[in-house]
Structures are given as C-alpha cells and as structure tokens.
C-alpha cells in the first residue's frame, strides 16, 4: 500500500443494518474525490453484506473492527483473523483504545493480533494514542512510540506495506474535543520519524490517520497537515450529512 488519502469510518456498536445500508448507499453516491479511499468499520454481523455491496467499488471498502489474538479455539463470542479472511475481508482495526480499555488489550496482545492478521493476509489499521493524564505529564510521545514499538517493531520491513496507522488521542475520542492540527501534526511527525528508524525511507509511504472527534468543521485543516493522511472517524461517520463532507475534505 502506498500512502493515500483515507477517510475511515468506525461505526463501533451503532446502526441497524437498515440504517447502515442507507448510509453506505449515500456515501457511495456522494463521494466527489475519487482519489480518496473510504473505509467503513462495520460490526461483525454486517461484514459479508457490505463486503458484497462494495465488491465492485474501487474506492470504498469495509473493515472489521477487531479480531481475536488466538488463531481459533474455545473463545465464545470471538472472531478470528482467519474467519475474516475466509469471507473476503481485507482490513481489520487492531488496538483501538476502547478495546484496550474494555478488554484489557495490552501491547503484547495487540502484537499477537497483528501477527495473526498478517498470517491471514489481512491489512491492519493499527491504533495508538495517549490518555489526557499521559499528555499532561508530557509523556505522550514516549507512550505512543512504546505502543508502536511493542506491537509492530518485531515485524519485517515488508509487513509495513500492509499497515495503516491511526493516531487517536483518547482524550479526543467521542468527547467533542479535537487535537489541534499542530498537536496532531506533531505526533504524526514523531510517529513517521520513529518508523523511519525501523523501515527507513519507506516510512514516507505509510498512511497515518488522525482520529478523535473529526468533524466536517475540522477535517480540512487536519487533513492538510504534512503528516496527516486522513482520518479515522467515529461519531461523525454514522451520518451521511457529516461523513460525506469529511470524505470530500481533502484538498
């Protein structure tokens, strides 16, 4: 994957299939800039339906919101990377802060998920980000680098072709508070520089998305920063009225 403009929506645990169907139809009809790659993070029960619906669309694809860190077995209610691959899913979000918090997902567990995703040919949208407490203590950059190092730096250089990173400060997720373009750009540059120590100049080609209360009103400014290649959008991806303008915000 080379660096692209990416508008990724993360529906989380929202929308009925009927609501979702209307939303996807509108998004597909309204995307102006055909160079933008739109990804939609769909709840597990809808994945096959929306994979089929977007099958012939170049610029729209679906992502799973998670996969388990074990290959298979007695894990009631869980979904494996190989199951996702077997229904044709290409992308999976791994390491979202809500999963880290709700399910005690450590950097090590996330590393296992990343390995299984790659073993099954999936592409990974890897989330990282700090809490407000960590930022206030001025440890945010070290914290994010640690997340990246402990879950990704064991990978081969070639694996990075199949990773999209998403920087999502926890204090900005679902709070209405957004990192300023400068705060976001600073962290994205730090992440890219850090990746360079591992994969060299290839780091230029990695897409790094910003997530945390992205809205139509702030998307343009965020996406115009040098190291911000798009957004991972939660709340505002649930309505066409807000997600479509975000998709069309790239200059």
Compute the distance between CA of residue 214 and CA of residue 211 in angstroms, rounded to an integer.
Answer: 6
Closest-approach residue to ligand PGA (CB): 234
Does 174 bind ligand PGA (CB under 6 A)? Our answer is yes
Catalytic-labelled residue, pool 37, 96, 140, 188: 96
Judged by CB under 6 A, which of 235, 244, 246, 249 binds ligand PGA?
235
Q: Could you tell me which stretch among 44-52, 75-83, 110-118, 232-240 binds ligand PGA (CB under 6 A)?
A: 232-240
Compute the distance between CA of residue 9 and CA of residue 211 in angstroms, rounded to an integer.
Answer: 10
3-class secondary structure, 131? coil
Does 241 bind ligand PGA (CB under 6 A)? Our answer is no
Residue 244's nearest CA partner among 80, 3, 30, 11 is: 30
DSSP-derived letter for residue 76 is: T
Whether 188 contacts 209, CB under 8 Å: no
Q: Is 96 a catalytic residue?
A: yes
Judged by CB under 6 A, which of 15, 214, 222, 244 binds ligand PGA?
214
Shortest approach of ligand PGA to residue 132 CB, angstroms? 14
Does 95 bind ligand PGA (CB under 6 A)? Our answer is no
Q: Is 186 a catalytic residue?
A: no
Q: Where are the alpha helices (DSSP H) in 103-162?
A: 107-119, 132-136, 140-152
Compute the distance between CA of residue 171 and CA of residue 28 in angstroms, rounded to an integer.
Answer: 31
Q: Could you tell me which stretch among 57-65, 138-146, 148-156, 234-242 binds ligand PGA (CB under 6 A)?
A: 234-242
DSSP secondary structure string, 194-206?
HHHHHHGGGGGG-
Does 249 bind ligand PGA (CB under 6 A)? Our answer is no
**Which string of x and - marks every residue 6-45 that binds ligand PGA (by CB under 6 A)?**
----x-----------------------------------
Q: What is the β-pairing status of strands 207-211 and 163-167?
A: parallel
Does 168 bind ligand PGA (CB under 6 A)? Our answer is yes
Catalytic-labelled residue, pool 140, 168, 188, 190: 168
Residue 29's nearest CA partner among 59, 55, 49, 65 is: 59
Does 173 bind ligand PGA (CB under 6 A)? Our answer is yes
Shortest approach of ligand PGA to residue 211 CB, angstroms? 4
3-class secondary structure, 62? strand
DSSP-derived letter for residue 65 is: S
Contact residues for ligand PGA, defined by CB under 6 A: 10, 168, 173-174, 211-214, 232-236
Catalytic residue positions? 96, 168
């Amino acid at each position: 994957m080379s660096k692209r403009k990416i508008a990724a929506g993360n529906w989380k645990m929202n929308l009925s299939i009927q609501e979702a169907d209307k939303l996807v139809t509108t998004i597909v009809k309204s995307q102006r800039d055909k160079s933008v790659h739109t990804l939609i993070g769909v709840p597990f029960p809808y994945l096959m339906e929306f994979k089929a619906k977007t099958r012939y669309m170049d610029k729209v694809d679906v992502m799973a919101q998670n996969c388990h860190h074990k290959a298979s077995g007695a894990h009631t209610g869980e979904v494996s990377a190989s199951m996702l691959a077997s229904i044709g899913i290409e992308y999976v979000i791994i390491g979202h802060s809500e999963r880290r918090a709700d399910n005690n997902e450590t950097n090590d567990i996330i590393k296992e998920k990343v390995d299984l995703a790659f073993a099954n040919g999936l592409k990974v949208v890897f989330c990282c980000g700090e809490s407000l407490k960590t930022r206030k203590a001025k440890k945010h950059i070290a914290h994010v680098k640690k997340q990246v190092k402990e879950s990704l730096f064991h990978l081969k250089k070639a694996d990075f072709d199949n990773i999209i990173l998403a920087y999502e400060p926890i204090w900005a997720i679902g709070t209405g508070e957004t990192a300023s373009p400068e705060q976001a750009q600073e962290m994205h540059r730090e992440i890219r520089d850090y990746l360079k120590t591992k994969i060299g100049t290839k780091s230029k080609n990695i897409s790094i998305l910003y997530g945390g209360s992205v809205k139509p009103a702030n998307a343009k400014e965020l996406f115009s920063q040098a190291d911000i290649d798009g957004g991972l959008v939660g709340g505002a991806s649930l309505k066409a009225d807000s997600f479509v303008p975000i998709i069309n915000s790239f200059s």
